Amino acid sequence: MSLVAIGCNHRSTPLDSLERMTVAPDQLPKALADLGTAENLSEVVVLSTCNRVEIYAQAERFHGGYHDVREFLCRHAALAPENVADHLYALHDIEAVRHLFSVVSGLDSAVVGEHEILGQVRTAWETAREEGTLGSSLEPLFRQAVECGKKVRTETAIGRGIASVSQAAVAMAQDRLDGLSDRKVLVLGAGEMAEGTVKTLAAAGTQEILIANRTWERAQRLAGVCGGRAVVLDDLTEALAHVDVLVTTTGATDLILEQTAVADLIDSRQGRELLIVDVAVPRDVDPEAADLPGVTLLDMEAIGEFIEHQMEGRISVVVDVEHIVTTEVDRFHAISSAREVAPLIGQLRGQANTIVDSELQRYSTKLADLEPAEREAVEALARGVVNKLLHEPTVRLKDAAGRARGERLAESMRDLFDL
């Protein structure tokens, strides 16, 4: 049995493939049920964000677990196995732990240090618990991962400056339009990404912020957050005729705006240019809309390039975060190793004490003439010899726990001592 982390992200996978493999929130229960009943997987957590799709699981066999995850992603994304396998990375045991801790700390994000990933990891953990796919291995792993993410943001400056995709989207719009103080912006969606976007827009002094969403109440609530105005989704086309920027953030699985719809919109704008920033994965806007005159379309790939330039000069902060991650990984390994082998060591020492008790009882008649102090010395001698004999094997077992060598030593101990 080993811990595995198998998935793909914005670095390993083209956006068009990544968005097909994305697991929407309403699809998570079924995804967890499917993976939880796979032949080689037991405990499962699915982490799916705009930048990654990762499955963390306990696997009976590493290669079998990899096969199960790959087949799930093939079915979910309707992609051929080779089109999925080409983009997957697979980590196991301590490297899987290190990867999760790096992810939750923001080191593996498109925006290094982003704060949204901490909440996303927590949500993935809580959803798995609700769906019954957590157990004694992944529960403590994700608990400490979240603790690590909090510690990084408390003790380092990793979250300062641009620290989220929504902040990067607004910064790009400011860059392109030389500020937003005289601009109108429409945000499509009312989820966590949209909320981060409107707050950043308001802080940037945007002239007017409009929010359109399928649920009117949520659009109104978000408008209240930023002093903006809610727009009925049926009036989206009319609203878009008068704004300078459209930021799309929905969790829809299909395109919201086809190229033809954007082309019709351009006709109503009387030559005014439109900047579209699509931060949704899957995308909300047809990529071919970028070919239309008067339209500038920026997606997650463009945001990634923008952020890469913004992050130059923050190497020292990253080093500080990596140090915390390493410390937390070592701490997790020490705790989990002790937890894994504790029952086996307890059985071994219990068996040894039973043998000592039995032998002392067997020789009780011969020891009857001894003074109490002498009898105590004999008993202490017997237990001391046993403890010294068991000391080195138990220390080695603890040190090797959590790795393949530890499993071999544990199995040998069970066989040798009939545990």
Determine the Cα–Cα distance for residues 297 and 258; give it in Å rounded to an integer. 13
Q: Is 8 a catalytic residue?
A: no
Q: Which of 8, 50, 148, 226 is catalytic?
A: 50
| Per-residue 3-state assignment (H helix, E strand, C coil) for 95-155 | HHHHHHHHHHCCCCCCCCCCCHHHHHHHHHHHHHHHCCCCCCCHHHHHHHHHHHHHHHHHH
Strand order across the beta sheet in which 208-213 lies: 229-232, 208-213, 184-188, 245-248, 274-278, 295-298
Q: Is the dihedral of CA 204, 209, 212, 216 positive or negative?
A: positive
Phi, psi of 106 (to 5 degrees): 90, 5
User: Which of 66, 164, 144, 159 lies closest to 98 in space, CA to CA?
Assistant: 144
DSSP structural state of residue 161: S
Rg of the chain over Cα atoms, rounded to whole angstroms, equals: 29
Annotated catalytic sites, by residue?
Answer: 50
